[in-house]
Structure 1
Amino acid sequence: MIKEIQLLEIPVIDDVRGNLGVIESGFLPFDFKRVYYLFDVPSSAFRGGHSHIEQQEVLIALSGSFEVTINDGKAKKSYLLNKPNIGLLIPAGFWRELENFSSGAVCLVLASDVFDEGDYIRKFDKFLESKK
């Protein structure tokens, strides 16, 4: 259900020299095994367009902004990510679409597992079938 999606407030150490965001072991509901990031995404581009069978992820807008639309097979909700101290927790089993990237946007992803093509559902109709 959509209510499983959470916005996580990442601890920040404020300093006049610049702020420091900290994600340490135990902060996320999973241990992350892969970190990757999206950058130089054209504003008209569309990313995501898939679901995971087992993997969980947290998406963070390190710079700029982008919109994430989450679909649970019955309802959908959009989130505007535009703060580097807010992460969007996406448990397994949710379709996600990322779009409307601002100039200079950087999306950091913390994933619960290494890349495994077998964990992806890339066709929306198959995603809907998996929810039955």
Structure 2
Amino acid sequence: MPDPYLIKFPKLGAPEIGYISVTEQHRLVPFTIERIFWTYYTPESIVRGRHAHHNTEQVLIATAGRITVTTELANGSIQTFKLEDPNVGLYVPPHAWHTMQYSHSAVQLVLASQPYDEADYIREYEAFRQKWNQQV
């Protein structure tokens, strides 16, 4: 399973007319998209996420505002990503514990490889460390 990494989507247009970013036939997203959701109006003092997944892969995109995403792998590798350009997404593999903190105006678009299933979530940090340490 790859580590978290940034995906740069095409940015077509110009300042005087605006821009569009697109991906077709999952050319840049490394999985078939089964669920799309977005978060918005999150207070800046709130840290969301605080979980990993057993199977779900995701791409996180800040379509507006700024999102600071911190990922941690079971081997202890920690990375911080600032998403603030709507043509850049962050690939988050299933084995990555992740948290997100938002500017108040942030809108986060999430492309997910699986439909929602509560059983896919690892919400306890120690359970995450134990599960993925066995596979490192």
* TM-score, with length taken from structure 1: 0.93
Q: Quote the offset at 1:46 in angstroms.
A: 0.9
Indicate the SS of the match to 2:31: coil
Root mean square deviation of aligned Cα = 1.3
Alignment correspondent of 2:77: 75
Q: Quote the offset at 1:104 in angstroms.
A: 0.8
Greater mean deviation of Cα atoms: 10-19 or 72-81: 10-19
Q: Quote the offset at 1:58 in angstroms.
A: 0.1
User: Partner letter of residue 38 of structure 1?
Assistant: T
Residue 66 (str. 1) matches residue 76 (str. 2): no
Percent identity, aligned pairs only, is: 34
1: CA distance, partners of 2:123 / 2:104: 27
2: CA distance, partners of 1:119 / 1:103: 28
User: Partner letter of residue 110 of structure 1?
Assistant: L
Alignment correspondent of 1:57: 58
User: Partner letter of residue 126 of structure 2?
Assistant: D
2: CA distance, partners of 1:61 / 1:26: 19
2: CA distance, partners of 1:45 / 1:85: 25
Structure 2: 5+ residue stretches without partners: none
Q: Quote the offset at 1:26 in angstroms.
A: 2.6
Segments ≥4 residues shifted beyond 4 Å: none
2: CA distance, partners of 1:42 / 1:26: 32
Q: Quote the offset at 1:19 in angstroms.
A: 0.6
* TM-score, with length taken from structure 2: 0.90
Q: Quote the offset at 1:103 in angstroms.
A: 2.5
Indicate the SS of the match to 1:130: helix
Alignment correspondent of 2:10: 11
User: Partner letter of residue 20 of structure 1?
Assistant: I
Alignment correspondent of 1:89: 91
CA contact 2:51–2:122 (8 Å) conserved in 1: yes
User: Partner letter of residue 36 of structure 2?
Assistant: V
Greater mean deviation of Cα atoms: 38-47 or 69-78: 69-78
1: CA distance, partners of 2:40 / 2:26: 27
User: Partner letter of residue 95 of structure 1?
Assistant: W
